[in-house]
């Protein structure tokens, strides 16, 4: 062997393997953003480039509530923490509206981008934002004005409302920034630019992280607002995030750009968005209200059963964040591929995203099955609460392989502009199946809280199977948006 050959062999031995180099190159491209056309080329690479920033975005969105609870808890006022929790419950309607409008915005923009119609994408983006404002402004006025009455209806004590009601007033009154943040992020995701929403939530969360302690405790020149300061900080962070998104649209982002000629209102386009978003709103409400039914069944077995369930579910939701990013990537691929007249590419992307999701959630499920006691004890040390939390976490984990595909199918239907299919599956699997099954297993069959956890796992698994059967029928391929 020559010296040159020896030199090459030594270089190869020291250099990272080529697959690792390609992985890091793709990760860098995903986080920096790309001009890539997702209707052509490698499907696995397209899913990766879309999913990575979407996963980070989902994690950032969940950070708002965590940060608020962390700093509000430092006040040492249990009633303040309670008001934050009650307000989050009241915001369920706002989140449902935001998710419904976002789903419609993503589907319509993705379809136009796939059709190589940037003008149409920009016009649909404007109509979605206008519709979001039309919904949010009256809702904000009513929410801010009646916030204290709503807290009273939720069971808050008069002294708690008098002391901490300002948090609900600011959060409910400023709901427009929540809706617009969801909505404009969805526009960019539909256009295939997942990096801008990710950066926006970095910015919004960074501002919230800095302002939360300043407004809550009155640091430096900031007034001491107590629990209301958390609402002011969060709303300010989100508002600046919205302004950043609007600036990105106006300056001409990579995949969708809005200029003055796009600003005229279009009743026809707005009606399309309203039609699609109605189903998305119902989807979110069915899911939320059915879960309230499950919690009501658990409440019969005492606060410790509810607490264990709450801890288990929070851990599961945290684990599912990457899966939602993968599912959103599949939705974008479906919308753009159908717009490009490539339904086979859309179908292949969904099955592939589901497979990747199954590998990820399968690994997470194994971790939860074997490590549940250690994980749950990190949140609570009460033996009874830990026992219920472990049972919840393990039972739900057994269905993760099904959930992986189910989450992707839901977003695939939505991305195709067919939101009513997953809506009816939601109604059937969660209201007509999950809640009655939880009641049956918990009480007549005597399984108690374990029966409730089994019902949840069975309902989500059923959802995935029904979703797969309807997805294979292929009617979603012919939906017009």
Contact 417, 111 (CB under 8 A): yes
Q: Any idea what DSSP says for residue 228?
A: H
pLDDT of 269 reads: 93
165, with CB counted inside 10 A (0-12, 13-18, 19+), is buried
pLDDT of 42 reads: 92
Of residues 230, 220, 218, the one with CA closest to residue 166: 230
pLDDT over 70 (residue 174): yes
pLDDT of 17 reads: 65
pLDDT over 60 (residue 315): yes
pLDDT of 202 reads: 92
pTM: 0.83
2, with CB counted inside 10 A (0-12, 13-18, 19+), is exposed
Of residues 416, 329, 321, the one with CA closest to residue 364: 321
Mean pLDDT of 216-240: 94
pLDDT of 76 reads: 79
- CB-based contacts of 68, cutoff 8 Å, min separation 6: 84, 208, 212, 230, 231, 233, 234
Mean pLDDT of 236-244: 96
Taking the domains of the chain in order of start, what are their residue ranges? 39-265, 279-481
Q: How far is CA 182 from CA 8, 99, 166, in A?
A: 52, 7, 24
Upper half-sphere CA count for residue 124 (Cβ side, 13 Å): 29
pLDDT over 80 (residue 283): yes
Contact 212, 152 (CB under 8 A): no
Mean pLDDT of 36-54: 90
Residue 9 pLDDT class (50, 70, 90 cuts): very low
Mean pLDDT of 132-154: 91
First-last CA distance in the chain:
64
Contact 452, 437 (CB under 8 A): no
Cβ count within 10 A of residue 93: 17
pLDDT over 80 (residue 352): yes
Helix (H, G, I), strand (E, B) or coil at 418: coil
* φ, ψ dihedrals at 412, nearest 5°: -65, -45
Q: For all residues of the chain together, what is the average pLDDT?
A: 88
CA separation for the pair 264, 247 (Å, rounded): 18
CA separation for the pair 66, 61 (Å, rounded): 10
CA separation for the pair 134, 131 (Å, rounded): 5
pLDDT of 3 reads: 44
pLDDT over 70 (residue 11): no
pLDDT of 345 reads: 96
Expressed in percent and rounded to 5, the helix, strand and coil fractions of the chain are 85, 0, 15
pLDDT over 50 (residue 1): no
pLDDT of 14 reads: 52
pLDDT over 60 (residue 97): yes
Q: How far is CA 57 from CA 31, 64, 195, 322, 328, in A?
A: 11, 12, 9, 9, 11
CA separation for the pair 86, 445 (Å, rounded): 33
Mean pLDDT of 346-365: 95
pLDDT over 60 (residue 393): yes
């Amino acid at each position: 062997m020559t010296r040159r050959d020896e030199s090459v062999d030594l270089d190869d031995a020291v250099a990272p393997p080529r697959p690792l180099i390609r992985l890091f190159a793709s990760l860098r491209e995903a986080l920096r953003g790309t001009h890539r056309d997702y209707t052509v080329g490698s499907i696995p690479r397209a899913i990766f480039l879309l999913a990575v920033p979407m996963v980070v975005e989902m994690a950032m969105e969940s950070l708002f509530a965590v940060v608020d609870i962390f700093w509000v808890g430092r006040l040492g006022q249990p009633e303040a923490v309670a008001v934050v929790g009650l307000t989050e419950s009241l915001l369920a309607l706002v989140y449902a509206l935001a998710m419904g409008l976002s789903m419609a915005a993503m589907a319509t923009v993705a379809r136009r981008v796939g059709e190589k119609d940037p003008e149409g994408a920009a016009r649909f983006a404007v109509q979605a934002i206008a519709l979001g404002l039309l919904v949010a402004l009256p809702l904000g006025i009513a929410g801010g004005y009646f916030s204290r009455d709503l807290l009273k209806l939720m069971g808050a004590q008069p002294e708690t409302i008098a002391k901490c009601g300002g948090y609900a007033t600011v959060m409910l009154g400023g709901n427009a920034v929540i809706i617009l943040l969801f909505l404009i992020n969805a526009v960019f995701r539909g256009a295939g630019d997942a990096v801008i929403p990710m950066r926006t939530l970095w910015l919004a969360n960074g501002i919230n992280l800095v302002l939360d302690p300043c407004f809550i405790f009155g640091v430096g020149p900031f007034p001491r607002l107590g629990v209301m300061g958390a609402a002011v900080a969060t709303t300010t962070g989100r508002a600046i995030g919205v302004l950043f998104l609007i600036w990105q649209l106006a300056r001409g982002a990579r995949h969708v750009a809005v200029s003055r000629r796009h600003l005229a209102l279009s009743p026809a386009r707005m009606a399309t968005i309203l039609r699609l978003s109605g189903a998305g709103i119902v989807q979110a409400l069915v899911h939320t209200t059915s879960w309230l039914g499950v919690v009501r069944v658990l409440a019969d077995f005492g606060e410790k059963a509810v607490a264990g369930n709450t801890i288990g579910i929070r851990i599961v939701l945290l684990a599912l964040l990457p899966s939602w990013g993968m599912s959103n990537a599949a939705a974008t691929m479906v919308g753009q591929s159908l717009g490009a007249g490539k339904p086979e590419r859309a179908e292949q992307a969904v099955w592939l995203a589901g497979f990747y999701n199954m590998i990820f959630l399968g690994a997470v499920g194994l971790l939860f099955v074997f490590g549940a006691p250690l994980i749950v004890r990190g949140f609570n040390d009460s033996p009874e609460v830990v026992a219920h939390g472990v049972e919840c976490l393990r039972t739900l984990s057994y269905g993760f392989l099904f959930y992986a595909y189910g989450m992707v199918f839901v977003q695939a239907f939505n991305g195709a502009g067919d939101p009513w299919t997953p809506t009816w599956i939601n109604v059937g699997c969660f209201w007509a199946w999950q809640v009655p099954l939880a009641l049956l297993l918990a009480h007549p069959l005597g399984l108690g809280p374990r029966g409730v956890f089994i019902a949840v796992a069975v309902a989500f698994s059923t959802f995935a199977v029904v979703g797969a059967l309807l997805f294979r029928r292929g009617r979603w391929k012919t939906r017009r948006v």
